[in-house]
Chains A and B, each alone.
Chain A
Amino acid sequence: MVVKCKNLVKIYRTADNFRALDGVSLHIKQGEFVSVMGPSGCGKSTLLNMLGLLDEPNQGEYFLNGVPTADMTDNVRSKTRRENIGFIFQSFNLMPKLSVLENIALPIRYTDTPRKDILPRARELAARVGLESKINSTPLQLSGGQCQRVACARALVNRPSLILADEPTGNLDSKASKDILDLLLSLNQNGMTIIMVTHDPKIAESTHRIIRMKDGKIV
């Protein structure tokens, strides 16, 4: 089991103590491709932040690859993120001043990988997402679809066990969206576990399982 959550609760300290997650329990197996759907504000992104160790729940348990995450220090959470989780964001979140190659290589720079192995590994990933010819370009010189492919390559560069994609096709046209979906599907066919938040039912249908959320709960 890659992801195992039990009764996750996240309360935002607002005037009405908004419950973004209200007792979410979830099991995701190795190699599953799961999509999360629901109206805006239902807690999809909050759930993804919890699963990605970017945020902590107020209540509940979360086991990543069988390891409890509740007592992890900030350093361990960072280490776990870089070694086990790959993020793909709707707005790509690439570094505008870095080249495609450097963007892909960025997560490896935080590991102990010898410097000489970093760029060859990033180049290999750039080839895998079909951007070999663009490695020296900056994100500003790329199309939205190409940027998202760079983000996919960056998410994969540390060989994570889990990919978390937050509306990866949200900013893309239909052609680019299909390309990204195909890329994710091919990764999944190679055994990668993927959790993807999406608003697009067609894209969700291509995944193994759809989790629907409403008001912080899985319905």
Chain B
Amino acid sequence: MKLPDLISTGWTEIRSHKMRSFLSFFAIAIGIATFFYTLSVLSQRYRDIDRAAKISGTGRIDILTEHPLDMTQYYILKEMLPEHTSLSFTPAENYFDSFLYKNTEIGGFTYTGILPTWKDSGFAYRLEGRFINWKDITNKSRVALLTVYPHEKQKRYLEEYTWNREDSQEKILKITEFTSHVNLLNQQILFNNEIFTVIGLLHSPEIKNDFRFPQDREDTPKMYIPYTTYYDIQPSWRDNSSSTIRIVTGSESTTRAAASAAVGFLRSQFGINEKPQPKFFREEIRMRVKDALADLKKMLFLGLIAMIAGGIGIMNVTMAVIFSRTKEIGIRRALGATKRDILAQFLVESMLLGLCGSFAGMLLGYTAVVYMAADASQMTFSWWVVALSVLIALVTSFLFALYPAWQASKLRPVDALKYE
């Protein structure tokens, strides 16, 4: 019998045994829904890890040191690192502060000093204006960059601490509210009793499009000033604070060499008691993939249980179908159907049910993703998840129908014909 005939026969049988078909269909649908949900969520997680890894840069190492670092040390370390390596220093602490703009006090942000190389890793902003350049570093320019947030429904967790100074009569405005109404680009602000020019606005991505690793996302609204300026105006930090060294080598193969160079440098600068712990982002990514894989295993196990239950349902129903259709098998065999025709007929019928079940399951799984997944808004349609879900449904219905179908094909025509 040709495939279209098998499909049409199978379809007729499915329609004429609605309840029986529904039970198999339902069992498969539940299993597929679990698989679809799991695979969709995990596919998204893998993609997020991949995106975050791309944004964070290849061969990234972060090293925390208990000392403030100056530009002389920057150039020494730069010399020790492999060629084309990006090196950036940032103070490890952030301070809350406020600035004055046309006599209005604006607060609710922290500020820190950065180098032009800061944007080589974890930079997900749209820049309006210009970024801090090496000239600003050399001249210790009084320039600033401000983060600006888009209007969005989703609440982002950002600390916006403001306070009213005792001597101030007016309430301090929150910077996120202020910058959403006033464009401060190229405006002058009074900060730390000095005039700073806002040279650039860093438009933060919407939460749903922010694919950075959590540690690369700012936890407070930020003002960035040149590293040297920060060094200049923060004597307290200069005396007893710590820094983060960020190295992006551009290649995984050079990370070890770069880390050893940095560790060697810190020891040469601060003595042999210095025990810096380089944090390799490769490890971070590996850990995240490992976590995702562990979740995948757990969820797939549940999916597998559901599919086995679905498969047993299919097997049971197919067995019942065969008992009730023994006479039909006899007639078909008498009319010239081979064992293989009978086998194919029941397998195709079961796989048709599996196929329908997979579509219903995917719909159910998709609904679960929309209403249950943590980052539902980031979920996208992955064809491979659809293809895999269909494949799992087809394979399950095939495997579990195989034994009953084989039993049916083994029936002797003369015995099957006698069956009433």
Contact = CB atoms under 8 A, between A and B. Distances in A.
Interface of A: 49, 52, 54-55, 74-75, 78-79, 81-83, 87, 89, 93, 95, 97-98, 106-107, 109-111, 115, 154, 158
A110 B336 CA distance: 7
Contact of B334 (A87, A95, A111): A87
A95 B337 contact: no
A75 B413 CA distance: 12
Contacts of A83: 336
A159 to B, nearest CB: 13
B334 A54 contact: yes
Given A110-B1, A115-B2, A54 B417 contact: yes
28 contacts: A54-B334, A54-B413, A55-B414, A74-B339, A75-B339, A78-B336, A78-B339, A79-B338, A81-B334, A81-B336, A82-B336, A83-B336, A87-B335, A89-B417, A93-B327, A93-B334, A95-B328, A98-B12, A106-B332, A107-B335, A109-B2, A110-B335, A110-B336, A110-B337, A110-B338, A111-B336, A115-B5, A154-B335
B10 to A, nearest CB: 12
B417 A75 contact: no
Given A93-B331, A95-B328, A115-B4, A158 B336 contact: yes
B420 to A, nearest CB: 9
A107 B336 CA distance: 7
Contacts of A89: 417
Contacts of A109: 1-2, 5
A115 B1 CA distance: 10
B288 interface: no
Given A54-B413, A54-B417, A95-B328, A74 B2 contact: no
Nearest to B334: A87
B338 A74 contact: yes
A180 B283 CA distance: 85
Given A81-B334, A82-B335, 11 more contacts: A52-B334, A54-B413, A55-B412, A75-B338, A78-B339, A82-B336, A83-B336, A93-B417, A106-B332, A107-B335, A109-B1
A98 B11 CA distance: 12
A78 B417 contact: no
B168 interface: no
Interface in B13-58: 13, 16
B414 A81 contact: no
B341 interface: yes
Contacts of A49: 414
Main secondary structure of the interface of B (DSSP, over half): helix
B334 A79 contact: no
A54 B414 contact: yes
Nearest to A87: B334
A111 B339 CA distance: 14
Interface string B282-321: 0000000000000000000000000000000000000000
Contacts of B2: 109, 115
Contacts of A97: 12-13, 16
Nearest to A97: B16
A55 B413 CA distance: 8
Nearest to B12: A97
A9 to B, nearest CB: 16
Contacts of B142: none
B60 interface: no
Among A49, A78, A81: residue with most chain B CB under 10 A = A78
B333 interface: yes
Considering residues B16, B331, B335, B417, which has the most beta carbons from chain A within 10 angstroms of its beta carbon?
B335
Contacts of A55: 412-414
Given A78-B333, A87-B334, A110 B341 contact: yes
B414 A106 contact: no
Nearest to B340: A75
A161 to B, nearest CB: 14
Q: Taking each of A74, A107, A154, which has the highest tally of chain B beta carbons within 10 Å of its own beta carbon?
A: A74
B29 to A, nearest CB: 25
Contacts of A52: 334
Contacts of B341: 78, 110
Interface string B328-354: 101111111111110000000000000
B415 to A, nearest CB: 9
Contact of B336 (A79, A93, A98, A115): A79
Nearest to A113: B2
Contacts of A107: 335-336
Contacts of B413: 54-55
Contact of A78 (B5, B12, B331, B337): B337
A75 B336 CA distance: 9
A53 to B, nearest CB: 9
Interface string B403-420: 000000000111001000
Interface in B376-420: 412-414, 417
A89 B332 CA distance: 13
A106 B338 contact: no
Interface in B93-152: none
B145 to A, nearest CB: 71
